[in-house]
Structure formats: structure tokens, C-alpha cells
Structure 1
Amino acid sequence: MTDPWRLGGTGAMLLAAYAIFFINLTASGYANEFYSAAAQAGSVSWKAFLWRSLDSGNAITVDKPPAALWLMALSVRNLGLNSFAILLPEALMGVATTYLLYATVRRYWGNWAGIVTGFIFMLTPVAALMFRFNNPDALLVLLMTGAAHALLRSLEYVNHPSGNRKRTWWMVLAGALIGFGFLTKQLQVLLVLPGFALAFLLASPTGMVRRILDLLAAIGSMIVAAGWWVLLTVVVPAGDRPYKGGSQRNSFLELTFGYNGFGRLTGSEEGSVIPGHGHEGGGMPAGGGRGGGRGGGKWGQTGLNRLFSGEFGTQISWLAPLAFAGIVISLLVIGRAVRTDVRRASVIAFGGWLTVTWLVFSFMAGIFHQYYTVALAPALAAMVAIGAFSLWIARDKLWARIVTPILIAFTAFWDFSPTGRSQWFPWLKWAILIIGLMGALGFALAGLLRIRGLALIALILSVIGLRLALLHGRCTPYPKDIWDQSS
């Protein structure tokens, strides 16, 4: 019999997701008009649809692969050209990502851990923005989350009669989703692969030879899912297709490894073929981003502090300390579990995703906008929830009783800082700080006096404090350039 509390919690999470991603969806009009124009072209011309042309005459393409534009073009083809048709796929992907992330964490850490993950994800400011906007990032995040789910499902078949076959098919699905991620935003999707590969190699319940074969199957699936379209760009003569926008030599491969690839890391992007315009959603300077080595130039100072400060920090860093601490805490709680423990694999997969992507974003010297950080949101939400529930599991241990109030107090002070930069509800920063410190004090006293009821009250206060911080970030007006600068 279904637990009504569990059903109610899941239902509330999904209703909140629909509200966050759908209410007043058309407020931004056609959003990124650069991609909206391509969606309109694809809705009236199948050739423009295939090549992601900027115009139905197929003169030039946008500077990104076509997958995200295909969804928008199909929506416009069926619903007509309007703001709702353009943004409907993005909002639906927001709800789908929320549920998929919930389902993944719930499967290994329990229903309430999954619900907390879903709420943290949808309330993360940059996620609440980008699933209401028509850049490729929404589809990219959904595909990466789906690949994480498929990867972890592949590790479940320990003593299953058809385990090898089912495990391989899950890996094939994970690879295909990564491949379509490449057709969404090129090399960025590969940032999740180190954590995914490590999780599979460590936790797969097979011998090393079989593990390698399954990985090769996933790689093959990834190549096929992305390669068919890339191959078309190579074999179709230049005269029979539109010019590859963003490239200097009409080459998608050049675009992949240059402007949209290593150029983003080094800051040496080659500019647009459209004089006076970049590919950053219309209006960015051509080649704008010779950011310049370690400094990052106009894209912000590079370094470990980059995503914790300024407008980057207000989009993603509210719970980042808890997320990174969650990696260590959950691994300690899992301890010496068997090698095939899928909970440990989930920490490695999400923790690797978070760590690798965070480091790359921190040090890339090329074009880098605040909204890129949406790629961190699923992994961050998962690790906050997993870390919190790991502490709750270990609440009777001395180290957990010491660490929990320290982490809550630190996070309260941490969230007090970016809240204080805004004039939006100025009283809220004090509410966040006071409620958070009350929660930390409650946990400290509960651990000292061994009063479980007090620990529950402290948990509720801590959750309220963290929710207020996320809500503040969610409600604060977005910087104008996060709407104007898009790539």
C-alpha cells in the first residue's frame, strides 16, 4: 500500500515544479531571439530543421548543434510561432529533469532524499531561469541527468539471470544520451564522463574485461548517436548546405574544437562570421571573449573563487559548501560497503560531475556566462540531499553530532553574504542567518543531550533556513546580461 506521506511529498514536488517552470512562462517573450529565429526557420523548412539554419533560406546556421532547436521547431510547427510554443519544451524539460533526478536519488537513498533533491534543484536560481529560456542548456541538463540514471541502473544487476544483457543495454542508453548531449552543446557534455566512468569501473558487478566491454558499448552508442549528424556535415558538399555559423572555414568540426571547444578554455575563440555580432544570442561582440589567460577578462576572474563570488555565486553557490562536504560525508557513511554498492557509485557519479565541471568552469578563460552554471545544478542538488541524509543516518555517531551543527552554521553565514548584496527583501538575510543558527544550535544541543525530538526541530529549522536562501536567490531579479548574453 502506498504511503500517503510519500505520495503527497512527491505530488507536492511535481506541482511546485510545474508552478516554477510554467507560471508566467511567456514573460521573456521570444527569449533568445537568435535561437527563436532558427526554430521558426526549422518549422517551415525541413532542410533548415536538419541543419539548424538561422533562416528558412538556409544561408547560415546558428553556432550550436541542432538537438535543442529540433524540439523548439517541432513545437512551433504544431502550435504556431509564439512565445509559448518556443518556451514550452524548456518548461517540460524542467519538470522532466526534476522528476528524473528525484527518481534517481530516491532509488538508492530513499523517497525523502529524492524529494529534497527535486526541491533543491528547481529552486536553484540558475535552474529556475534556464528552464524558462530557450538556450540549449535545458536539454543538455536533462540528457546528462538521464545518462546518470541509466549508468546507475546498469549497476543494479548483480545476480540477475539476464544481468549482463540488461546492464549492457543500460550502458548503451547512457552512451546514447551523452551522444545527443553532444548534439546539444558539443564538448560540454563530456565533463560528466570522468565521474561516470570511474563509478562504473569501480562498482560494476562483473570482471574487468566485461566492464571494459560495457564501457566500449557505451562509447560506441555515444559515437553513433552524435556521429551520424556530424558525418553529414562532412560528406555533404558545402554548396548543398548552409554556411556553418561560428566557424571560419565552414566546418562544424572546427566549430566543435575551436570556438565552442578548446577556445572556451584558453580564451582564444575565433569570432563570428557575421560582422559586428557574436553567436552569444545576438549582440555580443565578434570574437568577444579573448578573455585573456588566467584573468578571464570580461568573463570574470578565473580561479577557485570564481563561482563563489559575484553574480556567479548568486546563481549557484548557495548550497555549494554543503554539496562538496556531502561527497566526503556520504563516502564516510558508506564506509566499507561492498565494491558493488550502488550508493557509493551514485556519490562518485554525481560528485565527479560536480567537481570536474566546477573546476573547468572556474578556470576556463574564454566566454563564460552565469547561466552556464545550470550544468552544475543536478549534481549539486543530489550531493546536498545525499550528504544531509548521510548525516541523519550517522546522527548517533560523535563525529556526525559535531559536523552537523558546524555545517549548518557555516552555510547560514555563507548564505547571509550573497543575500546581503541584494536590496531585494533586505530583512530576509537576517531571517536566513537567525533561523540557520537556531537550527545549528538545536543540533548541537540534541547531540549533547541525546534528545531526538530536539534534533527533529533543528532539522526543520535548518531546512527552513536553507529554503529561504534558495527562495531569495530564486526571487531576486536576474542581472540583465544573463538574459542578453546567451550562447
Structure 2
Amino acid sequence: MTTLPTAVHAAPRTGRLARLWRGRAEDRPWVRPALLGLLAATALLYLWNLSASGYANSFYSAAVQAGSQSWKAFFFGSLDAADAITVDKPPAALWPMALSVRLFGLGSWQILVPEVLMGVGTVAVLHAAVRRRFSAGAGLIAGAVLALTPVAALMFRFNNPDALLALLMTVAVYCVLRALERDRGAARWLVWAGVAFGVAFLAKTLQAFLILPPLALVYLVCAPGGFGRRLGRLALGGLAMLVSAGWWVALVELWPASSRPYVGGSQNNSFLELTFGYNGLGRLNGDEVGSVGGGGRGGPGGTAENLPAGMELPVRLGGGGGGGWGETGIARMFNESVGGQISWLLPAALLLLVAGLVVTWRAPRTDTARSAFLVWGGSLLMTLAVFSFMAGIFHEYYTVALAPYLAALVGMGAAVLWEERTRWPASAALAVTVAVTAWWAWTLLGRTPDWLPWLRSTVLVTGVVAALGLLFAGRVDRRLGLGVAGLGLAAGLAGPFAYTLATVDAGHQGSIVTAGPAGGGMGGRGPMNGRSAFGGQAPDGGVRAPGNGQAPGNGQAPGGQMPGNGQAPGGQPPGNGQAPGAQAPGNGQALGGGPGGERGGMGGGMNGGMGGGMNGGMGGLLNGASVGAEAKAALLKDANAYTWVAATIGAQNAAGYQLATEKPVMAIGGFNGSDPSPTLARFQQYVAEGRIHYFIGGTGGGGGPGGGNSEISTWVSETFEKTTIGGAAFYDLTERK
């Protein structure tokens, strides 16, 4: 195999700034400036219009706000500074944001800029990993592909744990690749890989371990040194992983339950149960106790018998026939729901993986180029298989985990085939890859036919021309060949680049978000997330949400329409045929007015007419609602006299009030409203001690408070008078009937 980097004579370097700009002595003069330009462009792209997302996912933003005020809440990942209950993940992904808010105050930029920095860091680490063995061009291509992947642009500007997870998985692969290079120093790099895996576990539990099997196997087979030494070093890396993740787990499990917050997402107040149940095997088999749309073994919110008559399980996304979270199978990553998020260059990555292994097949056992293809390819295939066949909760944005692996394979594979282009099989493989990529982009763009219709035909024609030219790339002038290769790269990146521009041009709020233009996700149904495509306003002309965490200004539920035909779950909503509190989601109205009397999307809307939360269903699930001045003033009155200024069903519902007031609000039942926390007896004790001011029920005049914790709701409605403040039902828990 041809050695890819080309050495040149470099000018003498003096000073750190000169070394930073010039890079390696053997690099051509353009190499380091091109990398710095890529990183700067990525930062600018991801920072563009960042505040349009407001507090993004208010569930995590509320926990960030709590962690910025209380070190105990920071450590546990509590949803409120008074430590009633935690988020349903470990807290590592919250820590950078909470530190930022502690330093600079609460706001959209303070929460989201750390995520942007993680995105830039991931591009830099990926470039470094590819560049070490392959050409500078390979590293730049890999970095550009990652930066322009639509779902990456979405999640590196959002406050879910996936940004930190993607960064740490890329770091882990980089460390394993360094360990594969030579026998000396390998143990140190495997220890660092173990640390990266351990911290990633503290970001998103077992998903961090998906790529462990292929990485361990490749090291065991392909690393230099004796087999016993390789095995011992793997064990050392495993120990580092256990320590870097286990210290926090041990403290939480050993900490007296009476003096720490309830572990959100669990049914027995156990982080281990959360890890191996709801966030573990439940994601694979769909048996998620306490979830919204999964199996649940009869757990709250998990089965149809817990929902109102005539209503089906909510949030059935991405297809049919495969369970509550979309159709499973090998085509899942290419379907109408997921394809536009991640799959633009996925066929190319798979083809180039095969090509790279063919080219390096006869290399020695320890060949680092082949090891790189095996490591990145194994990571891609393992994650791809799990995402394609998991029957539990699955969201489109999960696929950001695939982006670094995919991008690396594209960069490495293109570089290897380019170096071998004088051989017909290599030039033909390049041509086929470009042609298939252009055809698939043409197919994906056809799913949004009214959005940039000229781009679809342009990509196809450009790709075909480039593919024909690449057949003869090894037999023409180098500069002409480079021009044809550049044309092919442009054809491959044009579609995802356009989707990425549409993504950064719009705000995204809530728990379920997708990248791309309106109609580009969730099967192409309806305006997505109340956002525009290349516009400054929401689809009906409403103003996008400001940086206060409220839902899109046009009153649409995040995601625009409910899955299916635009009707409420199950076709007709209960009662009068309208969605609770407002109109059916298909007509562009939010589900309910939202607490505070303003249109708050899904957050809190269902808490009104259905008694709030549907036993842990959609009420308050998608995003925290906006809070009006009247409700905010009521909560802030004598706020320091109470541990919690209010309690309400569901974490998203609580988050809206907490972010508006920056005071603790108890989220009864956690995220879904289905966790058994607090018990009725504990809640009554809090009320007797005067620690909670208000219980906030549904919107408007929609009956009494409700939710998954029905005993608490019933007791409150029977014991305290209801008043309407800002359109929501408030119960003053200091004044009995």
C-alpha cells in the first residue's frame, strides 16, 4: 500500500504561534491552516442563531439550573436545587453546562455553548485520529463530513447527553488507535481509552459500551507484542473504565436514600436498576418500565390499559409494524424518519470500508491502516446494528453516535482509493461510491420535494459527471483528477450541507427534535419543531421562541404534528373531540394552552383536560411550557420561605416554572410522571411542614390535578381550593378548604 503522507521541506519554526500555524515540519504549508479553518468554520456554523433554541430541552436545562445553584444537585444530577428527584441519566453531560451557568448566569448561550465546543472538539479529535495514519486530505474530509452531518449539527447545538457521548467515543477510538501503533506506551493509551469509556458511561450509561467489543477484539488481534501482554493491557484499560465510572455509581448506591434525591427513571430508587432496566435491556427489548411508548410490563404509562378509553400509546415515531418506536430492521437508518438525519454518506462509508479492507488485506497483522478500518468500521457496524434492531425507545437524534465512525471511513477510504487510482478497480470503486452517494442524495431530497427543488437534480447530475470522470482519474493530469475528485466531494456533501444550514437556521426545543428542513424528519409529516427552513419565523409567521425555554411562537407542538394523520393519539381525543385544552394537533395548534396561559407546545397541555399526564403519558413530555407574568409573580411571592415554590406532575411541566423563576419546583413522578416519587405520605409530610407552596394542575378550567401519581392528585383536589392563575390550576397548599 502506498505511503500516504508526502514529506516536504519546511521553513524553520520559531515560537508557539508559528508552530501552531505551521504544524508538522513535514506537512505542506496549507495543511495546518486548512485544519484551523475547518475548526473555525465549524464553530461559526454551530454558533449561528444558537439562541433560537432557547433552553432547548427544558428537562436538562432545569437540571443544569439546579446544579448551578447547589453542588449536591450538581453531583447527583437533580432536577431541582432542593433535590427531590434526578434526571433519568447520570449527570456527567450536565456538569459542563452547570459550570458554565454557575460562572456566567442562566441563559441559552451559557447552556448551549459548551455543546458547541464539544462539537468542535469532536471534529478536532476525529481529524487527529485519521490524520495520524492517512493523508492530511483524509483528515480534512473526515472532519468536514462530521461537521456537515445534519444530526451532528443538531446535537452539538442541543443540551442532550449525546454531544458529550459522541466526543468521548471519538476520544476512546483515538486512544485505541494510538495503542495499536506500537508496543511501547500502549498500556497508557488503553488506560486513557478506559477513562473515556467510563466518563461516557456517566453521560449515557450502557450506550457508551456499544463499541467496546469491536475495539477490544481488534486490539487483541492486531496490536503489537505478545498475546499475554495484549490481554493484560486490555484488562488494565477495563480496570480504568471501571474506576472512572464506578466511583460515582458506588457513591450513589451507598448514599443513604433518605438524604439524596430519588433516582429518576427507576421504580425502586436504584441507579443500577435504571442502568440495566429502563436505560439498558429495556431499550433493546422494549420492556421499559415507566416509559411512555414502550412495553413496560404493566408499569405506569407502559401499557394501553393505563390510558383513557379510545386512546392509543402516544409518540409512535418513524414507521409502523415494529413496535411503539418505529419499524425495526436493517432499513431503519434509511427510512423516511431517520434517513435525512444521518444516512447521506452511510452507503459511501460502507462501500469504502469494504474497499479499504480489500486494499489492506495482505498487510501484516499489525498494519495500522487496516486496524483503523477495522476499528472505525467495527464501531459503525456495531452501533448500526443495535440502532436498527432495538425495540425500545428510539429517537432520530440518537444517530449522532454514528457520525464520527461514518466520517472517518469516508475520509480514510477516499484517501486510500485515491492513492490507488491508477488501478482500474480502485478508480471504479471511487466512481461507484460517488454515483451511489449522488443517487441516495437525490432520493433523500425527493422526500422534501418543495424544498430547494433545484438541488435534487443538481446533485444527481454533478455526481454522475464526477463518477464518470473518476473512472479515468488515474490516467489524466493530476490537477484535472483533483478537480474531478473535488466535484464528486461537492456532490456528496451538497445535500447534508443544505440540511445542516436548515438545521442551524432554526431553533429546536423539546425532547424530540430532528434536523433538516420542515418535513425533513419523522416521516416528512408536517413542520418540524415549530421551526423554519432558511427563514427567521415559524411556518405561520409566528416569532420563534426567545431564550426563555418557551415553545415555538406559533403555538405548535414540538414536531409540528403528532405522528400519523395529524389527529390526537388514537384518532379522536376524549370528550368533545378536541385535543385537551385546545385543538387537535394536526391543525397547527398546541396541545393545550400550557401553564401560564401562553401557548407552550406539548408541555403541560395535556395536563388540563385529561387530568394531567395520562398516567405518565404525553402531558408535559415534550417540553416545558412558557410561564406568564401572573404565574411567575405568584410563585416568587415569599419564595424563600419554601423549599419548593411549587410541585407539579412531570419533569417537563416543572421545568418551565423552574426556569422562569429560578426557584426549585418539585417534579412529581420524574420525566414521565410515572416514577413512584414522592409517595403520598412523603408529599403530605412536606405539605404539613410548609415546604411546598403550590400544587400546579392542568390548564384553564380543565378539572382537578392529575397525573401518574393519582393519589397525590386526588388528595390535593379534595383538600385544597383551586384557583386559576395565568390559565393554569393552582392549589395553595398552605390553605386548606
Name which of 164, 168, 174 aligns with 1:139: 164
**Contact 1:54/1:61 (CA < 8 Å) preserved in 2?**
yes
**Match of 2:143, as an amino acid?**
G
Q: CA deviation at 1:263?
A: 0.5
Amino acid at match of 1:84: W
The reply on whether 1:477 has 2:531 as its aligned counterpart is: no
- Who is 2:97 aligned against? 72
1:314 is matched with which residue: 336, 340, 346?
340
CA contact (8 A) 1:198 1:349 kept: no
- Aligned residue runs from structure 1 range 249-398, under 5 A: 249-271=268-290, 295-398=321-424
Which residues of 2 match residues 185-204 of structure 1 at below 5 A? 185-204=204-223
Report if aligned partners of 2:316, 2:325 keep a CA contact under 8 Å in 1. Answer: no
- Tell me the alpha carbon deviations over residues 196-240 of structure 1, each in whole angstroms, 9 at most, x when there is no partner: 112211221110100010000010000000001111121111101
Whether the aligned pair in 1 keeps the contact of 2:197 and 2:241 (CA below 8 Å) is yes
Distance 2:131 2:431 in 1: 25
**Residues 140-184 of structure 1: CA distance to partner in whole angstroms, max 9, x if unpaired?**
0111011111111112224xxxx1xx2111110100110001000
Counterpart residue type for residue 444 of structure 1:
L
Distance verdict in 2 for CA 1:384–1:107, change over 3 Å:
same
Amino acid at match of 2:126: L
- Where does 1:51-62 land on structure 2 (aligned, <5 Å)? 51-62=76-87
**Equivalent residues in 2 for 1:113-128, closer than 5 Å:** 113-128=138-153
Q: Quick check: 2:180–2:219 contact (8 Å CA) kept in 1?
A: yes
> How many angstroms apart in 2 are the aligned matches of 1:351 and 1:376?
10
**Equivalence for 1:434:** 461
Deviations 1:422-442 (A, max 9, x none): 122111011110110110111
Question: Is structure 2 residue 269 aligned with structure 1 residue 243?
Answer: no
Return the alpha-carbon distance in structure 2 between the equivalents of residues 135 and 64 of structure 1.
Answer: 10
**Take 2:397 and 2:55, find their aligned partners in 1: how far apart are those partners?**
18
Measure the CA separation in 2 of the matches of 1:174 and 1:200.
Answer: 12
Q: Report how far residue 471 of structure 1 moved.
A: 1.1
2: CA distance between counterparts of 1:102 and 1:277? 44
C-alpha separation in 1, matches of 2:214 and 2:100 = 34
Structure 1, residues 278-307: CA drift from partner, whole Å, max 9, x if none? 9xxxxxx9996899xx94334211000011
Distance (Å, rounded) in 1 between the aligned partners of 2:150 and 2:419: 29
1:450 positional shift: 5.0
Q: CA deviation at 1:404?
A: 2.0
Query: Is the CA contact 1:30–1:36 (under 8 Å) kept in the aligned structure 2?
Result: yes
Q: Which amino acid aligns with 2:460?
A: L
Whether 2:73 is the aligned partner of 1:48: answer yes
Q: Work out whether residues 419 and 472 of structure 1, in 8 Å CA contact, stay in contact via their aligned partners in 2.
A: no
**1:425 is the counterpart of 2:452:** yes
Counterpart pick for 1:458 among 454, 475, 484: 484
CA contact (8 A) 2:418 2:427 kept: no
CA distance in 2, matches of 1:206, 1:230: 34
Structure 1 range deviating more: 95-104 or 459-468: 459-468
Aligned to 1:282: none
Whole-Å Cα distance in 1 between the matches of residues 388 and 262 of structure 2?
33
Give the CA deviation at 1:387.
1.1
Give the aligned partner of residue 87 of structure 1.
Answer: 112
- 2:635 is matched with none
Mapped contact 1:404–1:443 kept (Cα < 8 A): yes
Question: Is the aligned partner of 1:216 residue 2:235?
Answer: yes
In the aligned structure 1, how far is the partner of 2:241 from the partner of 2:74? 22
In the TM superposition, residue 454 of structure 1 has moved relative to its aligned partner by: 4.1
- For 1:218, the aligned partner's letter is G
Please give the alpha-carbon distance, in whole angstroms, between the structure 2 residues aligned to 1:10 and 1:331. Answer: 27
Which structure has the bigger radius of gyration? 2
Question: RMSD between aligned alpha carbons?
Answer: 2.4
Q: 1:252 to 1:295 in 2, by over 3 A?
A: farther
Q: TM-score, normalised by structure 2?
A: 0.62
The amino acid that maps onto 1:14 is L
How far does the alpha carbon of each residue in 1:382-437 deviate from its partner, in whole angstroms, 9 at most, with x for none?
01111111111211112112222222112111110111111221110111101101
Contact 1:369 1:485 in 2 (8 A): no
Following superposition, the deviation at residue 457 of structure 1 comes to: 2.6
Q: Is the 8 A contact 1:245 1:272 kept in 2?
A: no
Structure 2: which amino acid aligns with 1:155? L
Deviation digits for residues 229-284 of structure 1, max 9, x if unmatched? Answer: 111121111101111111111111111011111111111111159x9999xxxxxx
Report the residue type matching 1:80 in the other structure.
G
Aligned ranges 1:1-12 → 2 under 5 Å: 1=10, 2=22, 3-12=28-37
Could you say which residue in structure 2 is the equivalent of 1:281? none
Q: Which runs of 5+ in 1 are unaligned?
A: 279-284
Distance 1:147 1:359 in 2: 20
SS in 2 for 1:135: coil
Matched residue SS, 1:60: coil
Moved more, 477-486 or 48-57: 477-486
1:175 aligns with 2:194: yes
Q: Following the alignment from structure 1 to structure 2, what is the Cα–Cα distance between the partners of residues 286 and 309?
A: 23
Q: Aligned in 2, Cα 1:71/1:296: closer, same or farther, shift over 3 Å? A: farther
* Change in CA separation of 1:206 and 1:289 when aligned onto 2, cut-off 3 Å: farther
Deviations 1:99-155 (A, max 9, x none): 010011001112110011100001000000000000000000111011111111112
Cα separation, 2, equivalents of 1:482 and 1:143: 29
Contact 2:316 2:326 (C-alpha < 8 Å) held by counterparts: no
2:88 is paired with a residue whose SS is: coil
Asked if the contact 1:268–1:290 (Cα under 8 Å) also holds between the matched residues in 2, the reply is no
Q: Within the alignment, does 1:226 sit opposite 2:245 as a pair? A: yes
Gaps of 5+ in 2: 1-9, 11-21, 23-27, 293-298, 303-310, 503-515, 519-527, 530-557, 561-620, 624-670, 672-737
Distance 1:485 1:208, change over 3 A: farther
User: Could you say which structure has the higher strand fraction?
Assistant: 2
In structure 1, distance between residues paired with 2:460 and 2:291: 46
Structure whose residues are more often helix by fraction: 1
Give the whole-Å Cα distance in 1 for the aligned partners of 2:93 and 2:314: 24
**8 Å contact kept, 2:63–2:87:** yes
Detail structure 1 runs of 4+ shifted over 6 Å in the superposition.
275-278, 285-291
